[in-house]
């Protein structure tokens, strides 16, 4: 009889435990839903949903946390594409078999938090072949996760610095990447509405596809500039070695801050040195200051990457070096605009691709003018600007 009592008590305890566990699980699910709903609301999810519904042409999706966990095998280490100051980027495969890059940030930015939904709509409408496409986001987590198109060939930083230095990188390829990246930044500054300041231009934020087409990425530090303003007050963000010295003094992010950072990227392409590097001693060197010192002392050749030191390309290299020098001016007002940088690089790239324009006889034949009317320097050689202009005219 006592055995039956013990059995009954045991069964009752099991049933009670199971009942309590079920109640606990239901409570946890409800709590989780409330937390997700709160995060979704504070991250601007309702506004974003409204914008998506009112703009049927907008190809932008709000992902659930579960969808992104499934895409990355619960954010497994094997899915990691890279780490940065703002977080980790994972490779993911969605249910429709699309390969994407998922950025999981570490930092909560209160400024971005308030306007997140609005900014997502603006960024998702950027349609430029040299800007990484934003496909969607996940808002039901404390720090929103962003979903981008997957770009297969790594970063410019990896191409320049992590591959063997014996691997040849042609000047043509360097000019291609520089020209395309500058064009993307010029588009963000001048053609996006409202204009966008990237805020963290560096070689690791320039991705390369299978054809080495450059794609500017990572807008974690970006600012949308009101149409009636040219600068935004901000906390200093960015990466050491690329930071605009004027930003460090004024705390005002401007389009010229991006120009300075891009100037450092140009130096990386010219020298194959990192923005901060060690050479021959334990002292850390700034690539920007080392380059500007070399320019002042007329020692450009000593800092250039040996792979691009050849006589036939030196005119182009000097022009790119001078452009980088202008981008690195301490005063933002003295730097060229990103539009001007992109235009100059485009001309120099065309000149490199069509060196035949350097022959005066061919120039005169094309234009039907006497060489006396052309711009020349003190040695009688045609300036590269004139050669590039003639090249563009000849291509019409």
Residues carrying an active site annotation: 200
Kindly state the tokens that stand for 272.
Answer: 């194959």
Distance (Å, whole) CA 161 – CA 217: 19
CA–CA distance, 34 with 40 (Å, rounded to integer): 10
Domain boundaries, the chain: 48-149, 156-353
Q: Determine contact, residues 125/172, Cβ cutoff 8 Å.
A: no
pLDDT of residue 236: 46
Encoded tokens for 79: 């899915």
**Separation CA 41–CA 140 (nearest Å):** 8
Cα–Cα distance between 180 and 20 in angstroms, integer?
A: 62
CA–chain centroid gap for 281, Å, is: 31
Pick the CATH number of 48-149 from 3.40.50.300, 1.10.10.370, 3.40.640.10, 3.30.200.20: 3.30.200.20
Residue 87, Cα to own-chain centre: how many angstroms? 14
Q: Given this model, what pLDDT does residue 62 score?
A: 87
Cα–Cα distance between 334 and 336 in angstroms, integer? 7
Q: Report whether 387 belongs to an annotated binding site.
A: no
What would the two tokens of residue 302 be? 């000593």
Do the beta carbons of residue 270 and residue 300 sit within 8 Å?
no
The single-letter DSSP state of residue 42 is: H
The two tokens of residue 385 are: 């600007």
Contacts 24+ apart (CB under 8 A), 281-288: 286/241, 287/241, 288/241, 288/263, 288/264, 288/328
CATH superfamily of 156-353: Transferase(Phosphotransferase) domain 1 (1.10.510.10)
Dist CA 56 CA 44 (whole Å): 19
Query: In the structure encoding, which two tokens stand for residue 193, read together?
Result: 């509405």
Sign of the four-CA dihedral 373, 375, 380, 381: negative
Is residue 360 classed as helix, strand or coil in its secondary structure?
Answer: helix
CA distance linking residue 312 with residue 310, whole number of Å: 6
Give Cα separations from 90 to 14, 43, 376 (angstroms): 43, 21, 53
pLDDT of residue 373: 40
Alpha helices in 43-170 (DSSP H): 45-54, 65-71, 110-114, 116-124, 156-157
DSSP string, 144-159: -EEEEE--TT-BHHII
Residue 120 is predicted with a pLDDT of 76
Mean pLDDT of successive 10-residue stretches along the chain, which has 396 residues: 64 67 60 67 72 68 91 92 78 94 74 62 83 89 88 92 79 96 94 85 93 87 55 57 81 86 96 82 76 92 90 88 95 93 93 62 45 40 49 46
Query: Is this prediction's pTM over 0.85?
Result: no
Do 48-149 and 156-353 agree at the fold level? no
Q: What are phi and psi of 39, to 5 degrees?
A: -60, -45
């Amino acid at each position: 009889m006592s055995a039956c009592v013990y059995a009954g008590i045991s069964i009752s305890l099991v049933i009670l435990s199971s009942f309590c566990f079920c109640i606990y699980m239901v409570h946890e699910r409800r709590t989780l839903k409330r937390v997700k709903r709160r995060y979704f609301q504070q991250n601007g999810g309702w506004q974003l949903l409204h914008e998506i519904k009112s703009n049927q042409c907008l190809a932008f999706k709000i992902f659930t946390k579960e969808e992104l966990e499934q895409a990355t095998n619960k954010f497994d280490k094997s899915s990691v594409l890279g780490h940065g100051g703002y977080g980790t980027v994972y490779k993911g495969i969605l249910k429709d078999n699309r390969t994407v890059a998922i950025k999981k940030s570490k930092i909560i930015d209160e400024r971005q938090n308030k306007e997140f939904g609005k900014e997502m709509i603006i960024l998702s409408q950027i349609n430029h072949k040299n800007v990484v496409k934003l496909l969607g986001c996940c808002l039901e987590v404390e720090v929103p996760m962003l979903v981008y198109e997957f770009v297969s060939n790594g970063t410019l930083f990896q191409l320049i610095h992590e591959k063997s230095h014996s691997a040849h990188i042609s000047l043509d390829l360097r000019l291609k990447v520089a020209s395309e990246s500058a064009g993307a930044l010029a588009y963000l500054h001048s053609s996006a509405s409202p204009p966008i300041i990237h805020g963290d231009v560096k070689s690791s934020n320039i991705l390369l596809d299978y054809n080495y087409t450059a794609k500017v990425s990572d807008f974690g530090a970006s600012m949308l500039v009101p149409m009636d303003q040219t600068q935004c007050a901000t906390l200093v963000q960015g990466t050491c070695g690329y930071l605009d010295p004027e930003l460090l003094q004024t705390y005002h992010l401007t389009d010229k801050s991006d120009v300075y950072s891009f100037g450092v990227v140009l130096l990386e392409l010219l020298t194959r040195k990192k923005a901060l590097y060690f050479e021959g001693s334990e002292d850390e060197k700034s690539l920007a200051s080392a380059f500007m010192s070399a320019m002042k002392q007329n020692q450009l050749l000593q800092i250039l990457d040996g792979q691009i030191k050849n006589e036939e390309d030196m005119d182009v290299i000097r022009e790119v070096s001078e452009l980088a020098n202008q981008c690195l001016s301490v005063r933002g007002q003295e730097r060229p605009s990103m539009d001007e940088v992109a235009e100059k690089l485009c001309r120099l790239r065309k000149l490199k691709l069509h060196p035949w324009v350097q022959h005066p006889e061919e120039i005169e034949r094309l234009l039907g003018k006497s060489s006396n009317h052309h711009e020349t320097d003190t040695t009688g050689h045609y300036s590269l600007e004139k050669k590039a202009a003639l090249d563009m005219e000849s291509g019409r």
